[in-house]
Protein backbone atom coordinates (compact mmCIF):
# COMPACT_ATOMS: atom_id res chain seq x y z
CA UNK A 1 0.00 0.00 0.00
CA UNK A 2 1.16 3.53 -0.75
CA UNK A 3 2.14 5.92 2.02
CA UNK A 4 0.15 9.17 2.37
CA UNK A 5 3.04 11.19 0.92
CA UNK A 6 3.31 8.77 -2.03
CA UNK A 7 -0.42 9.18 -2.67
CA UNK A 8 -0.12 12.97 -2.75
CA UNK A 9 3.06 12.86 -4.87
CA UNK A 10 1.48 10.50 -7.40
CA UNK A 11 -1.63 12.68 -7.57
CA UNK A 12 0.38 15.88 -8.09
CA UNK A 13 2.49 14.25 -10.84
CA UNK A 14 -0.80 13.53 -12.67
CA UNK A 15 -1.77 17.24 -12.69
CA UNK A 16 -0.35 18.90 -15.84
CA UNK A 17 -0.60 22.43 -14.41
CA UNK A 18 1.63 21.37 -11.49
CA UNK A 19 4.20 19.49 -13.57
CA UNK A 20 4.37 22.43 -15.99
CA UNK A 21 5.84 24.42 -13.09
CA UNK A 22 7.94 21.86 -11.18
CA UNK A 23 8.47 19.00 -13.62
CA UNK A 24 9.27 16.02 -11.40
CA UNK A 25 10.66 18.14 -8.51
CA UNK A 26 8.18 16.79 -5.95
CA UNK A 27 10.10 15.45 -2.95
CA UNK A 28 9.15 13.57 0.19
CA UNK A 29 10.51 14.97 3.48
CA UNK A 30 13.94 16.16 2.27
CA UNK A 31 15.08 18.23 -0.65
CA UNK A 32 18.07 16.83 -2.56
CA UNK A 33 21.45 17.89 -1.20
CA UNK A 34 22.31 19.80 -4.39
CA UNK A 35 18.94 21.59 -4.54
CA UNK A 36 19.16 25.18 -5.74
CA UNK A 37 16.65 27.99 -5.41
CA UNK A 38 14.07 26.84 -7.92
CA UNK A 39 10.43 25.86 -7.70
CA UNK A 40 9.59 22.52 -6.11
CA UNK A 41 7.12 20.80 -3.83
CA UNK A 42 8.07 19.06 -0.59
CA UNK A 43 5.70 16.63 1.14
CA UNK A 44 5.65 15.43 4.73
CA UNK A 45 3.30 13.20 6.68
CA UNK A 46 2.34 15.06 9.85
CA UNK A 47 0.10 12.40 11.39
CA UNK A 48 -1.80 9.25 10.47
CA UNK A 49 -4.41 7.09 12.12
CA UNK A 50 -6.22 3.90 11.28
CA UNK A 51 -9.90 3.53 12.03
CA UNK A 52 -10.24 0.95 14.79
CA UNK A 53 -13.28 -1.07 15.79
CA UNK A 54 -13.87 -3.89 18.27
CA UNK A 55 -12.46 -6.52 15.90
CA UNK A 56 -9.25 -4.64 15.10
CA UNK A 57 -8.08 -2.41 12.31
CA UNK A 58 -10.78 -0.89 10.14
CA UNK A 59 -8.78 -0.66 6.92
CA UNK A 60 -9.37 3.05 6.42
CA UNK A 61 -6.61 5.53 7.16
CA UNK A 62 -6.70 9.29 7.65
CA UNK A 63 -3.41 11.15 7.32
CA UNK A 64 -2.48 14.79 7.55
CA UNK A 65 0.02 15.62 4.81
CA UNK A 66 1.88 18.91 4.62
CA UNK A 67 2.46 20.24 1.10
CA UNK A 68 5.18 22.91 0.80
CA UNK A 69 5.18 24.99 -2.39
CA UNK A 70 8.75 26.34 -2.65
CA UNK A 71 9.77 29.15 -5.00
CA UNK A 72 12.20 32.08 -5.22
CA UNK A 73 9.43 34.71 -5.13
CA UNK A 74 6.18 35.15 -3.23
CA UNK A 75 4.19 35.27 -6.48
CA UNK A 76 5.71 32.02 -7.77
CA UNK A 77 5.14 30.24 -4.44
CA UNK A 78 1.48 31.31 -4.36
CA UNK A 79 1.00 30.32 -8.01
CA UNK A 80 2.41 26.85 -7.34
CA UNK A 81 0.28 26.47 -4.22
CA UNK A 82 -2.81 27.48 -6.20
CA UNK A 83 -2.14 24.88 -8.91
CA UNK A 84 -1.44 22.12 -6.36
CA UNK A 85 -4.63 23.01 -4.48
CA UNK A 86 -6.79 23.09 -7.61
CA UNK A 87 -10.42 24.19 -7.93
CA UNK A 88 -11.68 22.40 -4.82
CA UNK A 89 -13.60 19.89 -6.93
CA UNK A 90 -10.75 17.44 -7.50
CA UNK A 91 -8.82 19.06 -10.36
CA UNK A 92 -5.67 18.73 -8.24
CA UNK A 93 -5.58 17.93 -4.49
CA UNK A 94 -8.53 19.69 -2.85
CA UNK A 95 -11.69 17.65 -3.25
CA UNK A 96 -10.04 14.76 -5.07
CA UNK A 97 -11.34 11.22 -4.73
CA UNK A 98 -10.56 8.15 -6.79
CA UNK A 99 -7.82 5.64 -7.44
CA UNK A 100 -4.19 6.64 -7.05
CA UNK A 101 -1.86 3.83 -7.97
CA UNK A 102 -2.86 0.79 -5.92
CA UNK A 103 -4.76 2.83 -3.33
CA UNK A 104 -8.27 4.28 -3.32
CA UNK A 105 -8.53 7.86 -2.04
CA UNK A 106 -11.88 8.60 -0.44
CA UNK A 107 -11.11 12.29 -0.02
CA UNK A 108 -8.37 14.90 0.07
CA UNK A 109 -9.59 17.87 2.08
CA UNK A 110 -7.66 21.07 2.81
CA UNK A 111 -7.00 22.21 6.35
CA UNK A 112 -4.58 25.01 7.28
CA UNK A 113 -2.39 27.27 5.16
CA UNK A 114 0.52 29.54 6.05
CA UNK A 115 3.71 30.92 4.55
CA UNK A 116 7.32 31.37 5.66
CA UNK A 117 10.65 32.57 4.30
CA UNK A 118 13.53 30.09 4.35
CA UNK A 119 16.56 32.14 5.46
CA UNK A 120 18.98 29.27 4.77
CA UNK A 121 21.10 28.93 1.63
CA UNK A 122 18.05 28.28 -0.59
CA UNK A 123 16.43 31.68 0.25
CA UNK A 124 13.01 30.35 -0.80
CA UNK A 125 9.45 31.37 -0.02
CA UNK A 126 7.43 28.44 1.29
CA UNK A 127 3.63 28.32 1.14
CA UNK A 128 2.55 25.51 3.44
CA UNK A 129 -0.84 23.82 3.18
CA UNK A 130 -2.08 20.80 5.13
CA UNK A 131 -4.50 18.24 3.71
CA UNK A 132 -6.41 15.39 5.30
CA UNK A 133 -6.08 12.34 3.07
CA UNK A 134 -8.58 9.53 3.72
CA UNK A 135 -7.72 6.28 1.92
CA UNK A 136 -8.14 2.50 1.78
CA UNK A 137 -6.34 -0.31 -0.02
CA UNK A 138 -9.32 -0.70 -2.34
CA UNK A 139 -12.59 1.05 -3.05
CA UNK A 140 -15.22 0.84 -0.30
CA UNK A 141 -18.82 1.78 -1.14
CATH number of the CATH domain containing 65: 3.30.2000.10
Kindly compute the dihedral angle of the four CA atoms of residues 32, 131, 57, 59, in this order, to the nearest 10 degrees.
-90
Q: Which H or E run includes 78?
A: helix 74-85
CA distance 80 to 35: 18
Smallest CA-to-CA distance from 78 within 119, 39, 27 is with 39
CB 23 within 8 A of CB 118: no
Is 68 part of a structural domain of the chain? yes
Is 141 part of a structural domain of the chain? no
Is 98 part of a structural domain of the chain? yes
What is the span of the domain harbouring residue 43? 4-136
- Domains in the chain: how many in total? 1
Q: Model pTM?
A: 0.92
Q: What is the pLDDT along the chain (141 residues), one digit of tens a residue?
A: 899 999 999 999 999 999 999 999 999 999 998 887 799 999 999 999 987 777 766 789 999 999 999 999 999 999 999 999 999 999 999 999 999 998 999 999 999 999 998 777 778 999 999 999 999 987 665
Amino acid sequence: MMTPAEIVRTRLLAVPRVTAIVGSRIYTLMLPQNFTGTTAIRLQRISERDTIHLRGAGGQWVARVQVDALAPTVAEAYALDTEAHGDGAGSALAGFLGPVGTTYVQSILPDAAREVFEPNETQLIRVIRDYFVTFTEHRVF
